[in-house]
Amino acid sequence: MKQFFHEFVIKTKGSGLYDFTEQTKNFIHKNKLLNGILNINILHTSASLTIQENADPDVLYDLNNFFKKLVPMDNKLYKHRTEGKDDMPAHIKSALTNSHLTLSVQNNRITLGTWQALYLFEHRLENQTRKIIYHFIGE
């Protein structure tokens, strides 16, 4: 049984979904992780993590567009707006999604469905540098 952590960075270019599935697969293969649990945690309150379809880019477009409509960037609606019009909407979107994902690793492979991929969901308008932590427990 082994346990360890790994931190990495994803640089975003504004609001949208950023696929980091290959980085995760490479991490598993490089470290020869055979079987266990991989917890993935984002260290921010204005971005989130999600598992979503990777086959049709229209899904990602529609998902991002839906959240923009669900949580509008209208300063009249929010008291907290310290960092601009996207500040509080980003926190709300993050609260509605996930700050972590827990996935099984089986036979040196992450267990995802055929059309599934891992995404960082950026909720801010400006470029950001996002930190993500992997925590693996297993063999």
Per-residue model confidence as pLDDT tens digits over 60-111: 999 999 999 999 999 899 999 899 999 999 999 999 999 999 999 999 999 9
| pLDDT value at residue 60 | 96
What is the enclosing helix (H) or strand (E) of 16? strand 16-19
| pLDDT value at residue 124 | 97
Which has the closest alpha carbon to 73: 129, 7, 15?
15
pTM score, two decimals?
0.95
Start-end of H helices in 72-117: 87-96
Both tokens of residue 71? 């949580």
Number of H helices, E strands in the chain: 3, 8
